[in-house]
Chains A and B, each alone.
Chain A
């Protein structure tokens, strides 16, 4: 076993992991942070998307020990009840969630986009969300929500 030290949503943690433990397993099973979902576990569906040092990654195929000393952001750190992040508000206002399984990953992918490109075009939003699958919405409302949130202050 190895000791992994990392920050998640601003809080420091120290956990024991194996050489092949994934970041997703650490978040869900060790820390009880369950917004990142277990979907495909092959890096395809994006339901586990989180930010590591501001960069979008798929937690299911991120070896936990490569996150040593880094900062992870999940939806739990994005906003709070009563103080939602503009993206969360926009998703709410545009009915961008149906079953909700993909939503945390969508939010994090959208956050990564807006951090780098605050005023994206519709095409750029689609490209940024291309690694996140949604089987309910047909994507239109999700893209609408991201465009609506673009430019608003976090």
Chain B
């Protein structure tokens, strides 16, 4: 064997035929920013590469109440997209912090999700927005909520003959409140120590903001609440208990502290080269607190 086989899919159908034929032997190649790193480190010697970078999966479609992004759309295109800027500002904000310009030029949204790093950058805004992914195979298509997509580090519910063809993002109400932040070891081109997003819809005018900070009630009722963190669990994490605390509640300083503490309790981080588990848990609490405070500020 002299380094495996390479197939260039000229259409999605051709890619699906190749995946049906080669199954688990096949590795789907788009931008290569994950796969080629593994090849260079000799952690991966793919028997079959199926290149999908030029098979028609590079698009962003505005379907009114949702935005559909082709699986092989590079982050640079997402960053440039007026549709994303206007309708999914949280995604636009998070994509700015992915990799560096050369990585964003080729690295794709589908690749980021299928690689299934617990630190996957795009997972945070997409989970916060309740996105789904469309998986296609020769025998049909299925739509899986992103929340049920990840199984563990590097593992997803994708079957070997399936291709992630689309990311489907419901367009949130214009007044959805959101905040995103990524904590890394350096400012650019880094994997997260922890990154997080908080989203919710506020009902009722803020009241009492003129009062002392610890007495103010910022919003009378919060709905569609989600607290999301990455790099602090085997998969990107929707902090369910923290989200539930916020849902339907009046948001005040006491609740902010409680949500942050609860989110940190829901994490199960590990020690690695970027940070210790202890630090990650502390940082998770601080991050969620500061995200909520940024929204109410």
A residues in contact (CB < 8 Å) with B: 1-2, 18-22, 41-44, 46, 49, 55-58, 60-63, 65-66, 68, 109, 112-113, 127-128, 130-132
Judged by a CB distance under 8 angstroms, whether B69 is at the interface is no
In the complex, are the beta carbons of B103 and A131 less than 8 A apart? yes
Complex partner residue of A131 from B6, B35, B99, CB under 8 angstroms: B99
In the complex, are the beta carbons of A42 and B102 less than 8 A apart? no
Question: Are A61 and B36 CB-contacts (below 8 A) given A19-B3, A19-B49?
Answer: yes
In the complex, are the beta carbons of B3 and A43 less than 8 A apart? no
- The residue in chain A whose Cβ has the minimal distance to the Cβ of B189 is A131
In the complex, are the beta carbons of A19 and B189 less than 8 A apart? no
> What is the distance, in angstroms, from B224's C-beta to the closest C-beta of chain A?
32
Stretch at the interface among B38-46, B111-119, B147-155: B38-46
Extra contacts besides A19-B46, A42-B37, A63-B49 (13): CB < 8 Å: A19-B6, A22-B40, A41-B41, A43-B103, A55-B106, A56-B101, A57-B105, A57-B106, A60-B40, A68-B8, A109-B102, A130-B187, A132-B100
Q: Kindly state the separation between the CA atoms of A60 and B99 in the bound complex, as whole angstroms.
A: 15
Chain B residues in 8 Å Cβ range of A1: 2
- Number of B residues contacting the other chain (C-beta, 8 Å)? 31
> What is the distance, in angstroms, from A59's C-beta to the closest C-beta of chain B?
10
- The residue in chain A whose Cβ has the minimal distance to the Cβ of B53 is A66
Leading 8 A-B pairs by shortest Cβ distance: A131-B100, A18-B3, A130-B188, A19-B6, A61-B36, A41-B40, A19-B4, A56-B102
> What is the distance, in angstroms, from A54's C-beta to the closest C-beta of chain B?
10
In the complex, are the beta carbons of B41 and A49 less than 8 A apart? no
Question: Are A63 and B51 CB-contacts (below 8 A) given A19-B4, A43-B37, A58-B102?
Answer: yes
Q: Kindly state the separation between the CA atoms of A2 and B103 in the bound complex, as whole angstroms.
A: 26
In the complex, are the beta carbons of A20 and B188 less than 8 A apart? no
> What is the distance, in angstroms, from B51's C-beta to the closest C-beta of chain A?
6
Judged by a CB distance under 8 angstroms, whether B29 is at the interface is yes
Judged by a CB distance under 8 angstroms, whether B209 is at the interface is no
Interface residues of B in 13-37 (CB under 8 A from A): 29, 32-33, 35-37
Q: Kindly state the separation between the CA atoms of A63 and B4 in the bound complex, as whole angstroms.
A: 13
Q: Kindly state the separation between the CA atoms of A58 and B188 in the bound complex, as whole angstroms.
A: 16
Judged by a CB distance under 8 angstroms, whether B271 is at the interface is no
Complex partner residue of A66 from B3, B4, B51, B76, CB under 8 angstroms: B51
1/0 per residue B146-189: CB within 8 Å of A? 00000000000000000000000000000000000000000111
In the complex, are the beta carbons of B101 and A112 less than 8 A apart? yes
